[in-house]
């Protein structure tokens, strides 16, 4: 009787170990269901194997000694980097320079020098609102033609009218009374009278001028304005160099 019980216990233990080997880790209820035995018998078998060191109870389940449940790696997919959105760069317009490389006519430079006296290249460029390179060629041309004279003042080049041109502009001595009273009135009245009149009466009816006629009148008026500007510049020059002209005239008479 004892031998049968031992054999039955050995077979049961082998079957329990086989179940644990197959299931890796399971509860007593799962083992009893797998072996199709009562839960109490399954628990008794498991405790017996535990005492023998053939099974162990850990973390709420039965397993063979040394069994560890493999850890599951929680691999989370990292989001792919979002590609940067390429936006077109805004083209910022560069600020225009105040002084551009536009050129100035020689006549305008001569008028400025006649009105203000000797000038340096920088002062002329500043008065006309251009860069130095815009008037350099015009000054060289004027000096080459004899219209201007280049002098050195305090180590710097200055441009002025030559003495011969000053004598030609006014050969006779000029007094204070002659400039405003005689010359200016006689010269100014002539171009002013030539201005076109837009208020002249018509003999019969009103005739509206054509755009071409108005454009011609505008050009004529601009021409008279330029003549008046030249006259004003010459008068300013005469008044500025009045004493010099008188001295040159006296020296010419004495010689």
**Tens digits of residue pLDDT in 183-214:** 444 444 555 455 555 445 545 556 788 888 88
36 lies in a domain? yes
* CB proximity list for 31: less than 8 A, separation 6 or greater: 16, 19, 20, 23, 42, 46, 62
CB 182 within 8 Å of CB 193: no
Strands (E), 149-214: 149-153, 156-160
Handedness of CA 213, 215, 221, 227 (dihedral sign): negative
Here the tokens at position 112 are 């400025």
Residue 226: its pLDDT value, please? 92
Residue 90 lies in a domain: no
Distance between CA atoms of residues 150 and 153, nearest Å: 10
Are 56 and 48 in contact by the 8 Å Cβ rule? The answer is: no
- Residue 37 placed within a domain: yes
Say whether pTM exceeds 0.85. no
Q: Examine residue 234 and state whether it is found in any structural domain, yes or no.
A: yes
101 in a domain, yes or no? no
| CATH code for position 20 | 1.10.10.10
- Which residue, of 119, 141, 160, is where some domain finishes? 160
> What integer pLDDT is reported at residue 181 of this predicted model?
41
Q: Is residue 54 part of a domain?
A: yes
Please work out, in degrees rounded to the nearest 5, the angle formed at the alpha carbon of residue 59 by the alpha carbons of 56 and 64: 25
Of 116, 135, 160, which one is at a domain's C-terminal end? 160
**Structural domain includes residue 125:** yes
Positions of the chain with pLDDT under 70: 1-14, 67-83, 85-86, 88-103, 163-206, 255
Number of domains in the chain: 3
With residue 108 as reference, give the H or E element that holds it.
helix 106-116
Cα dihedral sign, 207-210-212-215: positive
In-domain check, residue 70: no
The parent domain of residue 228 ranges over 212-254
Which residue, 94, 129, 160, sits at the end of a domain?
160
Phi (first) and psi of residue 239, to 5 degrees:
-70, -30
> Residue 110's pLDDT is what?
85
């Amino acid at each position: 009787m004892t031998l049968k019980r031992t054999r039955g216990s050995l077979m049961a233990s082998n079957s329990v170990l086989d179940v644990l080997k197959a299931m890796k880790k399971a509860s007593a209820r799962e083992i009893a269901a797998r072996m199709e035995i009562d839960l109490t018998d399954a628990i008794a078998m498991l405790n017996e194997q535990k005492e023998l060191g053939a099974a162990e109870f850990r973390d709420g389940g039965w397993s063979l000694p040394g069994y560890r449940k493999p850890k599951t790696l929680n691999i989370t997919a990292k989001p792919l980097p979002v590609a940067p959105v390429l936006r077109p760069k805004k083209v910022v317009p560069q600020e225009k320079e105040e002084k551009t490389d536009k050129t100035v006519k020689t006549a305008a430079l001569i008028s400025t020098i006649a009105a203000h006296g000797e000038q340096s290249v920088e002062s002329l460029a500043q008065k006309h609102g251009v860069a130095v390179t815009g008037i350099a060629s015009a000054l060289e041309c004027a000096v080459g033609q004899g219209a201007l004279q280049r002098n050195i003042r305090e180590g710097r080049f200055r441009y002025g009218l030559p003495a011969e041109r000053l004598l030609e502009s006014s050969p006779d001595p000029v007094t204070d009374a002659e400039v405003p009273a005689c010359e200016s009135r006689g010269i100014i009245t002539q171009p002013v009278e030539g201005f076109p009149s837009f208020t002249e009466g018509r003999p019969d009816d009103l005739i509206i001028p054509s755009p071409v006629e108005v454009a011609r009148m505008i050009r004529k008026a601009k021409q008279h304005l330029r003549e008046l500007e030249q006259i004003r510049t010459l008068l300013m020059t005469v008044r500025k160099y009045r004493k010099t002209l008188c001295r040159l005239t006296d020296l010419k008479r004495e010689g």
